[in-house]
Structure 1
């Protein structure tokens, strides 16, 4: 990984950690009884976002690798391209599973739908 990419990844991770920290501090100030509910709902929303985010990230990396390999294989043997696209379908299924998990988690939030 290039140093510039690693630097931006670390900056982004610190930014996300700061936002989560501020959100937890604001929820703690809301009171003990109501604050716990706010934290619980916030963690549910965070879990839904992480589910679709990591699933999309994994699917994107997999699609990039698979389509590059399919293009290379198709240049050598064009008759196998249609059979290789089944792998793309399986990789996209990972992102769809992440979306379904995120929807299930969001349904648990009150007033989400």
Structure 2
């Protein structure tokens, strides 16, 4: 429960720093956005990868679907990278 509040606080600080008028704060906001997106993607890939390997043992003919689920979790990091580029370019 405490981790959820810390995550909300980090997200709000990223938004506040990205909208700041000081000339260096948007880079801090972009870094926080990319870091949190990378963290979320890492957790998602870890969970999806473990489940995919477990399912691959039972049904190896479905391996394409397992790779798609892992790739969907990895797309979160790509979205974070795009958002950080947009924030840094302001």
| Shorter-normalised TM range | 0.7 to 0.9
* 2:75 alignment counterpart: 93
Tell me the CA shift for residue 41 of structure 1.
2.3
TM-score, normalisation: structure 2: 0.72
Tell me the CA shift for residue 53 of structure 1.
0.2
Tell me the CA shift for residue 75 of structure 1.
0.6
Q: Distance in 1 between matches of 2:70 and 2:51?
A: 11
Number of aligned pairs?
A: 71
TM-score, normalisation: structure 1: 0.59
Q: Distance in 2 between matches of 1:96 and 1:52?
A: 9
Q: Which runs of 5+ in 1 are unaligned?
A: 1-35, 109-113
* 1:104 alignment counterpart: 86
* 1:63 alignment counterpart: 45
Indicate the RMSD between aligned Cα atoms, in angstroms: 1.5
* 2:33 alignment counterpart: 51
1:35-50 alignment to 2 at 5 Å?
Answer: 40-50=22-32
* 1:31 alignment counterpart: none
Structure 1 stretches (4+) deviating beyond 4 angstroms? none
Q: Distance in 2 between matches of 1:83 and 1:44?
A: 38
Q: Which runs of 5+ in 2 are unaligned?
A: 1-19
Higher Rg of the two aligned structures: 1
Higher relative contact order, structure no. (Cα contacts within 8 Å, ≥ 6 residues apart): 2
